[in-house]
A and B are shown apart, each in its own frame.
Chain A
């Protein structure tokens, strides 16, 4: 059986811009993946709980409000606490280069800034999942 890739697309914090998250979620679905979109205004706890219950392979975090340095590490920590640090965590939105580097050090595998095509993101996830199996 060709195992389906399960993805959680999440909007942490108070940021209400969901255009990108929805476009990326649709792209994942069009690429044959099973996508759970969390909706807006998620706390790190809510995101991690969803990631655990849905046993997703990938957690995608979308944020444009500048609060990524507070929220992303919190999410990574919670995943670790739950023994779920094997999940692939990726991010997107408005995240300056310096912050990208720091977040990648902390465990966000890749961050996709403005202008990234959905194709790039989909291919990245497919490749990453293939190398894990």
Chain B
């Protein structure tokens, strides 16, 4: 009985692992820039995707670092500087026509262009928060960086909630 049980348990476990790996393969999340010719709009859409990946990566580096009791200040500063540079460019990443029509996997919602004023305001709000985060990092006060993380994340979310649609690939 116990032998039989461990056998079926092992089988079930193996099936579970297999399913998770298969699911992982189905989600080729990193979506590199395709090679070859592209329309400018498609190029912009792919660039945007890469830029957002870099932005997320840098923000995660800041968060992970400040969780530590002794954060690496240089790494935090390097990451917030990257974030500030990217955030400054962000409003230029959305040329008209670079939505799903240019890249089917794009998560940009059409209201980015139909509600351009609202989108621009949300993007500026994010810029302000990222700039504050960068200032805090450059001052060397890691407590101030920690304190600014929530507002920064909130400004990302503020824009995403309204102007991003979730796409499952």
Q: Do A and B come from one complex?
A: no
